[in-house]
Structure 1
Amino acid sequence: MAFLSVLLASFSSYAVTSLVLLHYPQLLHKPKTSRKIKHISHRGGAGENYENTLTAFAHAVKLGTDMLELDCHITKDKQVVVAHDPSLLRIAGIDALIKDLNYHQLPLIKTSLNIDFEPGKYFTGEEDETHRKIPLLKHVFESFPDVVVNIDVKQGGDELIEEIEKLITAHNREKSTIWGSFKEESSLKCYYQNPEVGRYFSLTGVLKLYLYFFTGLLPFISLKETHLEIPLYTSKETSHLSRRQQLILRLAKFLIIRPALFRHLNKRGIPTYAWVLNTESEFQLALDAGVNGIMTDYPSKLRNFFLNQCG
């Protein structure tokens, strides 16, 4: 009986301390510093221009986007290019891998390109080749020196990470670049390559984060990551699924959308960004959940949404 009383007292003390630190994390952790980011253009705005191109990035920057999200691969001649897929089949109609070609051999993007987060929709723009060229990361850094760039490190391993880091330091972008990978191993390699560059949570990192949160351990844990980027699912995206699948996703939505977690992280200087949202109802869902920034394929639509919010 005495043991049970001690156990209950210990648990109560732990729970109270955890709750206090959840609301006041600055008592234990020095807040990280990061820019205020609300408007994020996914692949530069894949619904309004050819994805991951200088034209798309320029359009988004003109609209006032706070961050350009993009993806990187490395070519045979060690050039870091901005492209989502390792293969050129989807974006260029060529059955070849980026890593097997030199940069000057890369083809132009197809005139009609599917939008990943808008099933059945395509972007079709001008045939002018200047709008369909796969760019180098250094061209992005040079063209938009004052805009935060969020890099998803794709296939390429150590070599790709090393080359990206060289470009970041050469352009003095340690404080205006976020990078990482959904793969834990690659994510950690990014950190050890240059811990001064902001890094988002890997998939494993996200799972650990939520485990810490639900068990009350999070307030006691030191976090090396600087940004949380999470998917938000809506009924529009799941309406075609079976009841069982919808139930699983509703459960996932319940577990993922935790405003208390987002508030805690925000107080620790770790912002939360939701992806990839393309409708006003999705934008509103994200804001109601308390995220800091929204990632979209339609930068014009998101800008107008924020303008209406201010109005």
Structure 2
Amino acid sequence: MCAAVYVLSTVTGYVLTSALLLKCPTLLHRRKRESFFSRHISHRGGAGENLENTMAAFQHAVDLGTDMLELDCHLTKDEQVVVSHDAHLRRSTGMNAYISDVTYAELPPYLCKLGVTFQRECYCEGGEDKRIPLLRDVFEAFPNTPVNIDIKVNNDTLIKKVSELVIKYDRENLTVWGNASNQIVKKCYKENPRIPVLFSFPRVLQLLGLFYTGLLPFIPLKEQFLEIPMPSIITKLKDPSRMTKSQRLLTWLADTLLMRKALFDHLTARGVQVYIWVLNDEEDFQRAFDLGATGVMTDFPTKLKDFIERNGIAKPQ
């Protein structure tokens, strides 16, 4: 009986302590310093309004007042850091080659019309700017705009060169980098721990495990950005009638586990920003902000800007 009472009191004490620290994490952890704060994030510069990852797209988003540009980086054969999503050039340019196999001078322009990945049956037709830019072009053009860099391949030289560019343009306090791959994120952090990193996919799974077991309030976190999809948008990207029952169940389960206000509130209280991607409908914007997400990543920066202004969604003071 005494042993049972002891176990019960111990468990109760742990649960209460965990609940307290979940609500008040700064009792145990120093809040991470936020050098910038992003509500409005333009995915690939706003792939639904301009050709993705072009200077025209980035300029349009910055002119609108976006808080952050999201982009992707690869390395050319002559070791130039270029801004492009795909490793292979077929989809974006029609050229049957990998970026890593051609020099920067040999890169063709983007096609006139590109599909918008996160909007079903949607295409963007570009203007005059179809050039694949260099990362340094973006840094030079927008010295005060935060940039979210997806390191697309596990390449030590790419990681080193991106870090060198960030340092050269004095952007360690205006940049976040990483990838879904834990290997890439570890290499980024090792190369330059002064540039904030995002949670890799394995670390997101670990984060959820810690959250649901009540251990998260006790564990330090090196990451400063949680960037996750809203699983429910899959029903907008695929025809729901063609989804199997297991696919629908998996989507519902992932959405239920990931989209948790208590988790987002705890992380933001610790100085970890939470970005939800890639949302292109107002109902999804609203849900993300209602759940406590710091910011929303979108292909349609004008639509998101109008939504934020119309609903008075301000940055916290």
Please classify the TM superposition score into its range, dividing by the shorter chain length.
over 0.9
| Contact 2:41 2:69 (C-alpha < 8 Å) held by counterparts | yes
- Whichever residue aligns with residue 139 of structure 2, its letter is F
- Give the gaps of 5 or more residues in structure 2: none
AA in 2 matched with 1:12? T
Contact 1:74 1:156 in 2 (8 A): no
Question: In structure 1, what is the Cα distance between the partners aligned to 2:236 and 2:182?
Answer: 30
Counterpart of 1:258 in structure 2 is: 260
C-alpha distance after superposition, 1:77-130 (max 9, x if no partner): 11000000000000000110000111111000000111111122111122x3xx
Match runs of 1:205-284 below 5 Å: 205-232=203-230, 233-234=232-233, 235-237=235-237, 239-240=240-241, 241-284=243-286
Mapped to 2, the partners of 1:16 and 1:310 lie a distance apart of 36
Aligned to 1:305: 307
Shift of 1:156: 4.5
Deviations for 1:257-301, whole angstroms, at most 9, x for unmatched residues?
110010111110001000000011111111111101000000000
Aligned to 1:51: 52
Q: What secondary structure sits across from 2:311 in the alignment?
A: helix
Task: Specify the SS of the correspondent of 2:49.
Answer: coil
Which letter maps to 1:263? D
From 137, 146, 149, the equivalent of 2:147 is 149
Task: Pick which of 68-77 and 280-289 moved more.
Answer: 280-289
Contact kept? 2:120, 2:236, Cα under 8 Å: no
Q: Which amino acid aligns with 1:221?
A: I
Aligned partner letter, 1:271: Q
Q: Compute the TM-score of the two structures, normalised by the length of structure 1.
A: 0.97
The worse-fitting range, judged by mean Cα deviation, of 38-47 and 1-10 is 1-10
> Structure 2 counterpart of 1:279, which letter?
D
The corresponding residue for 2:24 is: 24
1:124 matched residue in structure 2 = 125
Bigger mean CA deviation after superposition, 268-277 or 11-20 = 11-20
* 1:2 aligned partner: 2
Tell me how far apart the structure 2 counterparts of residues 38 and 139 of structure 1 sit (CA, whole Å).
24
Separation in 1, partners of 2:168, 2:236: 43
Q: Distance in 2 between matches of 1:259 and 1:237?
A: 24
Contact 1:47 1:123 in 2 (8 A): yes
Structure 2: how far apart are the matches of 1:204 and 1:256? 14
User: How many residues of Structure 1 are paired with residues of Structure 2 in the alignment?
Assistant: 308
Following superposition, the deviation at residue 36 of structure 1 comes to: 1.8
Task: Show the counterpart of 2:289.
Answer: 287
Match of 1:83 in 2: 84
Question: In 1, are the aligned partners of 2:111 and 2:130 still within 8 Å (CA)?
Answer: yes
Contact 2:45 2:54 survives alignment (8 Å) = yes
The whole-number CA distance in structure 2 between the counterparts of 1:68 and 1:117 is 17
The answer (yes or no) to whether the contact 1:74–1:98 under 8 Å persists in 2 is yes
Q: Is the 8 A contact 2:119 2:236 kept in 1?
A: no
Question: Does the 8 Å contact 2:120/2:237 carry over to 1?
Answer: no
Which moved further from structure 2: 95-104 or 8-17?
8-17
- The root-mean-square deviation of aligned C-alpha atoms, in Å, is 1.2
Q: Is the 8 A contact 2:264 2:292 kept in 1?
A: yes
Aligned to 2:102: 101
Amino acid at match of 1:266: T
Report the alpha carbon displacement of residue 22 of structure 1 after superposing the two structures with TM: 0.6
The residue type equivalent to 2:159 in the other structure is: I
- Secondary structure of the 2:166 match is helix
Q: Distance in 1 between matches of 2:91 and 2:237?
A: 22
SS state at 1:199 partner: coil
- The whole-number CA distance in structure 2 between the counterparts of 1:186 and 1:249 is 27
CA contact 1:68–1:149 (8 Å) conserved in 2: yes
